[in-house]
C-alpha cells in the first residue's frame, strides 16, 4: 500500500471518529434538538433521584417538549447557591435551605415528613446517652440545612445554649468520614446517611426528628423562573408526584432500584425506605406553618437578617 493511500485511509478514519464523537456529544447533551432544557438539582436518595432512576419523568417531559437534565448535590445549601446563580432551574431540598436562601424562592410542592430518618447519631459505645450530654462535645452538621435546624431544636429541648457545644460545619460526606474516625462526638444527619451510619457503623440514634424537625422534601425554584414557566411547574409536580405513588406501591422494586443507583447495601436502603412515605404535592396550610416555624427560629437566632413570610413565596400550581 502506498503512503498516499495510507494517508487517505487515516483521514477517513479520523473523520469517522470525529463524526461519532460529535454524534455522541449531541445525544448526551441534547445539542441541536428543539427541546427546552430544564435542569433539576437533587440529592442522593431523594424523590427526584427516584424519578431520575425510574426514567418515566424524562420521557413524559420530552413528550411536552422539555429535556430534563439532572445535577446531583451533597446538600441543600449547595443547591441554593446553584439555583440563585441560575445553573439549575429547580431544586429538591429539605425544609431549611429555602429559608437560608433569603430571597426569590418559590415553593412549588412538598413531601411527607421524614423525621424518623433524620436525627443525631452517636457511636454505639458513646457516653452520650441523652441530649444534655452533648454539652462540650463536637457535633458535625451542615450549615443552612435541616441538620442545622434539628440541632438548634435539640439544644433548645435540652435547655442548652448554642455555645454549649462545639459546632463543626461539614459537608455530609465529610461528616460521615469524621464520625467514623472519631473526630466528632455526634453527627446530625438525614437518610440515607443516617441509615448508612446505623447499618455499617452500628451507630445509634440519640434522637430522631420527631418533635424537633419534620424535614420534609420541597420542590422549589426561583420566583422569576417559576412565574414564567407555569407549564413546567405543573408537569414536574404531577410527574414527580406519580413517581412517588409508584414508590409507595412498590417498596421492593424501589429498594432494588436505589441500591443499584446509590451503590449502597440493600440493608441500608431498606431501612431508609421502611421509615418514610413518598409524596410530592402542592403545599398545605400545615406545611406552610411548619416552614414558617423554621424561618422564625432562624430569625430569632440571628441566622437570617430579614423576617420571612413563607406564604408569600408559595406558587399556586395552575
Q: What is the pTM of this model?
A: 0.86
Return the closest-CA partner of residue 313 out of 287, 277, 274, 278: 287
Residue 261 lies in a domain: yes
Q: Which pLDDT score, from 0 to 100, does residue 44 have?
A: 92
Same domain, 183 and 223: no
Average pLDDT score over residue span 263-276? 95
Average pLDDT score over residue span 141-150? 96
Average pLDDT score over residue span 203-220? 96
Residue 236 lies in a domain: yes
Cell match 468520614: residue?
Answer: 177
Average pLDDT score over residue span 170-192? 96
Reported confidence tier of residue 89, pLDDT bands at 50, 70, 90: very high
**Which of 147, 175, 208 represents a domain boundary (last residue)?**
208
Among 5-19, 64-78, 256-270, 271-285, which is the least confidently predicted range?
5-19
Phi, psi of 89 (to 5 degrees): -100, -30
Q: Which pLDDT score, from 0 to 100, does residue 304 have?
A: 94
Distances (CA, A) of 295 to 85, 99, 100, 102, 304: 22, 6, 8, 10, 8
Same domain, 224 and 308: yes
Q: Which pLDDT score, from 0 to 100, does residue 23 have?
A: 45
Cell, residue 49 = 433521584
Q: Which pLDDT score, from 0 to 100, does residue 101 have?
A: 83
Same domain, 53 and 130: no
Same domain, 222 and 135: no
Structural domain boundaries, residue 153? 115-208
95 DSSP assignment = S
3-state helix, strand, coil in the chain (%, to 5): 50, 15, 30
Same domain, 293 and 241: yes
Same domain, 147 and 189: yes
Reported confidence tier of residue 245, pLDDT bands at 50, 70, 90: very high
For 272-309, b/e burial (b = at least 16 CB within 10 A) is bbeebebbbbbbeeebbebbebbbebbeeeebbeeebe
Same domain, 169 and 241: no
- Give me the number of domains the chain comprises: 2
pLDDT by residue (tens digit) across 106-121? 999 999 999 999 999 9
Reported confidence tier of residue 254, pLDDT bands at 50, 70, 90: very high
CA–CA gap between residue 187 and residue 176 (Å, rounded):
8
Q: What is the mean pLDDT of the chain?
A: 92
CA–CA gap between residue 204 and residue 271 (Å, rounded):
14
32 has pLDDT over 60: no
Reported confidence tier of residue 318, pLDDT bands at 50, 70, 90: confident
Among 32-36, 71-75, 142-146, 248-252, which is the least confidently predicted range?
32-36
Q: Which pLDDT score, from 0 to 100, does residue 103 have?
A: 74
Contact 203, 179 (CB under 8 A): yes
Amino acid at each position: 500500500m502506498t503512503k498516499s493511500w495510507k494517508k487517505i485511509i487515516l483521514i477517513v478514519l479520523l473523520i469517522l471518529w470525529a463524526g461519532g464523537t460529535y454524534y455522541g456529544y449531541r445525544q448526551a447533551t441534547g445539542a441541536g434538538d428543539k427541546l427546552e432544557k430544564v435542569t433539576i438539582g437533587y440529592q442522593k436518595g431523594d424523590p427526584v433521584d427516584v424519578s431520575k432512576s425510574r426514567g418515566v419523568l424524562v420521557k413524559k417531559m420530552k413528550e411536552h417538549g422539555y429535556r430534563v437534565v439532572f445535577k446531583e448535590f451533597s446538600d441543600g445549601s449547595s443547591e441554593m447557591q446553584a439555583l440563585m446563580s441560575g445553573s439549575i432551574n429547580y431544586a429538591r431540598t429539605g425544609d431549611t435551605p429555602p429559608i437560608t436562601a433569603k430571597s426569590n424562592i418559590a415553593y412549588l410542592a412538598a413531601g411527607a415528613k421524614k423525621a424518623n430518618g433524620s436525627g443525631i447519631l452517636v457511636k454505639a459505645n458513646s457516653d452520650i446517652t441523652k441530649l444534655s450530654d452533648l454539652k462540650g462535645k463536637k457535633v458535625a452538621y451542615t450549615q443552612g440545612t435541616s441538620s442545622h435546624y434539628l440541632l438548634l431544636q435539640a439544644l433548645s429541648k435540652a435547655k442548652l445554649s448554642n455555645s454549649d457545644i462545639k459546632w463543626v460545619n461539614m459537608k455530609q460526606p465529610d461528616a460521615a468520614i469524621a464520625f467514623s474516625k472519631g473526630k466528632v462526638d455526634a453527627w446530625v444527619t438525614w437518610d440515607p446517611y443516617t441509615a448508612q451510619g446505623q447499618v455499617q457503623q452500628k451507630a445509634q440514634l440519640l434522637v430522631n426528628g420527631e418533635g424537633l424537625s419534620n424535614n420534609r422534601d420541597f420542590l422549589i425554584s426561583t420566583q422569576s423562573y417559576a412565574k414564567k414557566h407555569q407549564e413546567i411547574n405543573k408537569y414536574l409536580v404531577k410527574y414527580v408526584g406519580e413517581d412517588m405513588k409508584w414508590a409507595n406501591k412498590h417498596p421492593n422494586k424501589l429498594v432494588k432500584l436505589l441500591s443499584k443507583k446509590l451503590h449502597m447495601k440493600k440493608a441500608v436502603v431498606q431501612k431508609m425506605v421502611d421509615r418514610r412515605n413518598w409524596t410530592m404535592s402542592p403545599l398545605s396550610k400545615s406545611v406552610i406553618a411548619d416552614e414558617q416555624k423554621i424561618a422564625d427560629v432562624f430569625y430569632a437566632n440571628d441566622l437570617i437578617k430579614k423576617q420571612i413570610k413563607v406564604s408569600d413565596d408559595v406558587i399556586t400550581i395552575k
